[in-house]
């Protein structure tokens, strides 16, 4: 799912939004655990399903550079293990 550099892949986020978005799979992958838990908690309603379908389109149409800036540079620990996140850069 993640490349050698622990980068989050846009294509993976889109596919997760399509297939596991109703339970927040794409949000967990993007490092947004609180929103992922909200999706999971409301998965019995149609709200997370509709939201994830819209988000899949938004993620698909988002330019790759914008995606990288938003989901990697905004949270430099995304995709890292706890030990890797603790190491000073």
Q: Is residue 5 part of a domain?
A: no
39-47 contacts, C-beta under 8 A, 24 or more apart: none
Q: Is residue 2 part of a domain?
A: no
The overall average pLDDT reported for the chain is 84
First CA to last CA distance, the chain: 24
Tell me which residue of 11, 41, 12 sits closest to 24, measured CA to CA: 41
Q: Is residue 85 part of a domain?
A: no
pTM of structure: 0.74
Q: Is residue 89 part of a domain?
A: no
pLDDT top residue among 32 and 89: 32
Least confident range from 70-74, 75-79, 84-88: namely: 75-79
Domain range holding 31?
10-79
Q: How far is the C-alpha of 39 from the C-alpha of 88, rounded, in Å?
A: 33
pLDDT digit string (tens) for 14-52? 999 999 999 999 999 998 999 999 999 999 999 999 999
Number of domains in the chain: 1
């Amino acid at each position: 799912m993640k490349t050698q550099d622990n980068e989050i892949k846009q294509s993976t986020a889109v596919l997760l939004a399509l297939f596991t978005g109703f339970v927040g799979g794409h949000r967990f992958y993007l490092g947004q655990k609180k929103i992922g838990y909200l999706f999971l908690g409301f998965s019995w309603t149609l709200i997370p399903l509709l939201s994830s379908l819209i988000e899949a389109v938004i993620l698909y149409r988002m330019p790759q550079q914008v995606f990288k800036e938003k989901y990697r540079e905004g949270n430099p620990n995304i995709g890292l293990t706890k030990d890797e996140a603790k190491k000073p850069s």
